[in-house]
Amino acid sequence: MSLQPSYLPNYFSIDDILASQERIPCTFSVNVQKLGNLNPSSEETDLKAGTALELPLWLVQDLSTGRQPVVIPELPKVYKEGYREILKADASAVDLHKFNLYYFELGSYVRVFDRKSDVADTLIHAFTNRFRQLMDVIDSTEHNPTDFQRMDSLERRLFKESKESRMKLHTWLEHSTTPIETAAMVLNHKKRKRGTDL
């Protein structure tokens, strides 16, 4: 449909839920009874203080705050200094998807785990830097799938939306009209049906 709001994570947002499923390294600061099975490499019933584990972001966010934090989180390695240096050197050369599919969104959450670091600045720098390249890719008529594979989810969203509007503009300039089309979901449904009929 025509409403395409600028992306802002919300309670129901699929991307945000998937981003918050990513695992964050952390260390338990207290004993947690009965939940030993959170640690796959141990058979004990209780989780001992000092245990280091990777837990999903949503759990880490809840457990690392409050008066008595249960875990102390760390920056995931792709946000640590080494990786930040790579981004600062030449952000556009990086395969961001290999770092993390939700690199920017996840980064905006985890940056508070190390307040002294310059994660936020690095993210902004990397985004601006890569954005120019993104625009070039969108403009180019050549379709190179590896370009897309190297993008993080935010970039992929921008890519798809811009590509779509480019196509529309192109059709409009060419024919000075846009054809009325079969609704996307109807089309999809037909294709599937054809698939099962065969």
Partner 1 sequence: MFGEKAVELIKELDRCPTSLPPYNTDLVSEVNNEMRHLIESNQDDARSEEENRSLSGESLLPTIKCRHSAVIRNIRCLLAYHYNRLRVLRTMRWQFGGVLPSDIKQNLSHLEVEWLTKYSNSLAQYMRSVGEEGINLATNLKPPKSLYIEVRCLVNYGKFELNNGIVLLLKKNSRHFLPRSECEELIRQGVLEHLVS
Partner 2 sequence: MEDDENLHALLDTQDDEENEIELSPAVLIEVMEEAWLNEKFSPEILPNKIDFVELLLGQLSAMEENLENVGDRDIKKTLHLLEVDRLRFLVGSYLRMRLEKIEFYVDHILKQENSRLENREDLYLTEAELTFARNFKEGIDNHFEHLMRVHPTIPVDWKNQVIQPNIHSFVFSRSKTNIESIIIDEGNDDETVYVNKDSQMIISYNSVSNLVKKGDVQLV
Chain contacts with partner 1 (rule: CB under 8 A): 1, 11-14, 17-18, 21, 30-35, 38, 56, 58-59, 62-63, 66, 68, 70, 175-190, 192-193
Instruction: Please state, as a whole number, how many other Cβ atoms lie within 10 Å of the Cβ of residue 185.
Output: 8
Six token digits for residue 183: 């609704």
H-helix segments, 47-183: 57-63, 81-90, 96-99, 103-110, 119-139, 145-149, 153-175
Minimum distance from residue 12 beta carbon to partner 2 (Å): 7
- Residue given tokens 């690392």 in the structure block: 64
- Partner interacting with residue 187 (select from partner 2, partner 1, none; CB below 5-8 Å by kind): partner 1
- Partner interacting with residue 33 (select from partner 2, partner 1, none; CB below 5-8 Å by kind): partner 1
What sign results for the dihedral spanned by CA atoms 48, 51, 57, 61?
A: positive
Q: Decide whether 1 or 89 has the Cβ nearer to partner 2.
A: 1
Six token digits for residue 93: 């050369």
DSSP-derived letter for residue 47 is: B
5 makes contact with partner 2 (CB under 8 A)? yes
The pair phi, psi for residue 88, each rounded to 5°, is -65, -35
- Partner interacting with residue 138 (select from partner 2, partner 1, none; CB below 5-8 Å by kind): none
- Partner interacting with residue 8 (select from partner 2, partner 1, none; CB below 5-8 Å by kind): partner 2
Phi-psi region of 46 (alpha: psi -120 to 50; beta: other; left: phi over 0): beta
- Partner interacting with residue 34 (select from partner 2, partner 1, none; CB below 5-8 Å by kind): partner 1
Question: Among 11, 82, 184, 198, which residue sits at the site for partner 2 (rule: CB under 8 A)?
Answer: 11
Q: Decide whether 54 or 121 has the Cβ nearer to partner 1.
A: 54
Point out which residues bind partner 2 (CB under 8 A): 1-3, 5-8, 10-12
